[in-house]
């Protein structure tokens, strides 16, 4: 098998707080192959965003710190890299877009400026060429009137448009991997579909891989080839998307799938939406054993004694559960 594009092995990103170490990411393994879309799902606070930001080393240190693990980018570990080495990878090879398009752009510079800044930096172009490139990127992400809009400020764009600008900025150096950290969570439903469609289109055009972080299972079903399910700083299940939805093995994954709202069922059978009871356990000194045990319907004695290992249950389908 070819070397994966990105291979995260046993990554532990911990945060030092006054109460002790918060183990936000506690031994995560995941990999992304060239050109594929990997969905990373899980509820709020399970470590998805910290994993994503760790890849680009955008974690504030202190309080954060890489406790263990490797982030292999095309076989090269990113963790020991110096700041300026890292800056050559950011945007040029790995780009990221964030959850909040309203606050992700600097309010005092025009969007053209902000896109051109990346192009100028990484492609060593003149200001003028970079601005032309920025307008071209805006056109690619379907912003009407790109020649004029490059000179507008972020506050003159709506949320959906700003996310398009962010995508334009992220793709301006044709990265090999786009990390999309809940790109549609802050947008309303109709815009969400447009943004996902745009990302799909861009992927086909540039052939990059996407790491799509989300908590919307519907989005995953629609766009991803493989899915990694995270819970409390750990990967609990990893599978090709059909296998995950067809045969979810981990009780947490089953719960996530059952909690997808279904308009038809709600309207016809008056079926209540199922929720997973309880909340994510504290990541300060988590207990040994399966972290989901306290919320799991099938929990047994062994579950609280030792963390079950990831085991293969089908081709490319791994699950961290004793069942």
Partner 1 sequence: MIPSLLGISIVLFSLLAMAPGDPFEELATNPAIPPEVRANLRAKFGLDDPVWMRYWHWLIAMMQGDWGFSFVSRMDVSTLILQRLPVTLVVIGASQILAIAVALPVGVLAATRPYSLFDQIANTFAFIGFSLPTFFTGLVLILIFSIQLDWLPFVYRADISATGWAFYWEHIKQSIMPVTVLGLFQGAALVRFVRSSVLDVIRLDYVTTARSKGIGERKVITKHVVRNALIPVVTLVALQMPIVFGGAVVTEQIFRVPGIGSLLISAMLANDTPVVMGVTFVSACLVVLFNLIADILYGWLDPRIAFR
106 binds partner 1 (CB under 8 A): yes
By CB under 8 A, tell whether 95 contacts partner 1: yes
- Applying the rule CB under 8 A, the residues between 160 and 199 that interact with partner 1 are 166, 169
- β 234-240/209-214 pair status: unpaired
The answer to whether 83 contacts partner 1 (rule: CB under 8 A) is yes
Q: How many residues bind partner 1 (CB under 8 A)?
A: 32
Q: d(Cα 44, Cα 268) in Å, to the nearest integer? A: 30
The answer to whether 108 contacts partner 1 (rule: CB under 8 A) is yes
Place of tokens 């356990």: 281
| Nearest-angstrom CA–CA distance, 65 and 231 | 20
Please say which residue, 117 or 237, places its beta carbon nearer to partner 1: 117
How many angstroms separate the CA atoms of 318 and 3, rounded? 19
Nearest-angstrom CA–CA distance, 314 and 194: 34
Residue 103 sits in the site that holds partner 1 (CB under 8 A): yes
What's the closest the beta carbon of residue 116 comes to partner 1, in angstroms?
Answer: 11
79 binds partner 1 (CB under 8 A): no
Does 105 interact with partner 1 (rule: CB under 8 A)?
yes
58 near partner 1, rule: CB under 8 A: yes
Of 11, 96, 167, 177, the residue at the interface with partner 1 (CB under 8 A) is 96
- Encoding tokens for residue 149? 């809009």
Beta strands in 120-245 (DSSP E): 177-181, 209-214, 226-231, 234-240
User: H helices within 124-188, ranges in order?
Assistant: 127-140, 146-149, 159-171
Tokens for 172, please give them: 């301006």
Give Cα separations from 224 to 33, 177, 181, 207, 279 (angstroms): 12, 14, 14, 14, 26
Q: Which region among 39-47, 97-105, 132-140, 288-296 touches partner 1 (by CB under 8 A)?
A: 97-105
Provide, rounded to whole angstroms, the least separation between the CB of residue 181 and partner 1: 10
Minimum separation from the CB atom of position 112 to partner 1 (A): 13
Task: Indicate which single residue of 18, 19, 84, 264 sits in contact with partner 1 (rule: CB under 8 A).
Answer: 84
Kindly state the smallest distance separating residue 69's Cβ from partner 1, in Å: 21
Asked if 121 touches partner 1 (CB under 8 A), the answer is yes
Between CA 316 and CA 158 the distance in angstroms is 41
Which range, of 38-46, 94-102, 197-205, 225-233, touches partner 1 by CB under 8 A?
94-102
Residue 106: how many CB atoms within 10 A of its CB? Answer: 13
Select from 92, 215, 258, 295 the one that contacts partner 1 (CB under 8 A).
Answer: 92
- Identify the residue among 87, 129, 174, 200 touching partner 1 (CB under 8 A): 87
Furthest CA-CA distance within the chain: 67
Q: Residue 240 in 3-state DSSP?
A: strand
Helix (H) or strand (E) holding 319: strand 317-319
Closest contact distance (angstroms) between CB of 56 and partner 1 is 6
List residues binding partner 1 (CB under 8 A): 53, 56, 58, 60, 83-84, 86-92, 95-96, 98, 100, 103-108, 110, 117-118, 121-122, 153, 155, 166, 169
């Amino acid at each position: 098998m070819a070397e994966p594009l990105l291979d995260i092995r046993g990554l532990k990103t911990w945060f030092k707080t006054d109460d002790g170490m918060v183990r936000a990411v506690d031994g995560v393994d995941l990999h992304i192959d060239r050109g594929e879309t990997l969905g990373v799902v899980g509820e709020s606070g399970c470590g998805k965003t910290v994993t994503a930001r760790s890849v680009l080393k955008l974690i504030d240190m202190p309080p954060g710190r890489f406790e263990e693990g490797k982030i292999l980018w095309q076989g090269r570990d990113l963790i020991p890299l110096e700041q300026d080495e890292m800056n050559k990878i950011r945007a040029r090879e790995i780009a990221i877009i964030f959850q909040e398009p309203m606050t992700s752009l600097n309010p005092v510079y025009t969007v053209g400026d902000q896109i051109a800044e990346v192009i100028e930096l990484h492609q060593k172009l003149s200001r003028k060429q970079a601005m032309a490139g920025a307008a071209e990127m805006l056109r690619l992400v379907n912003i009407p009137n790109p020649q004029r809009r490059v000179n507008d400020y972020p506050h003159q764009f709506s949320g959906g448009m700003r996310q398009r600008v962010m995508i334009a900025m992220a793709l301006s150096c044709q990265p090999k991997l786009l990390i999309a950290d809940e790109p549609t969570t802050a947008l309303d439903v109709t815009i969400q579909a447009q943004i996902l469609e745009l990302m799909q289109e861009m992927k086909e055009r540039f052939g990059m891989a996407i790491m799509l972080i989300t908590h919307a299972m519907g989005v995953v079903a629609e766009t991803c080839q493989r899915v990694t399910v995270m819970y409390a700083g750990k990967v609990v299940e990893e599978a090709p998307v059909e296998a995950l939805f067809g045969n979810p093995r981990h009780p947490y994954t089953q719960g996530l799938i059952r909690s997808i709202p279904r308009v038809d069922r709600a309207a016809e059978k008056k079926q209540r939406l199922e929720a997973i009871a309880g909340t994510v356990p504290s990541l300060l000194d988590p207990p040994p054993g399966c972290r989901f045990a306290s919320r799991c319907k099938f929990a047994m004695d062994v579950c609280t004694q030792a963390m079950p290992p990831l085991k293969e249950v089908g081709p490319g389908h791994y699950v961290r559960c004793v069942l």
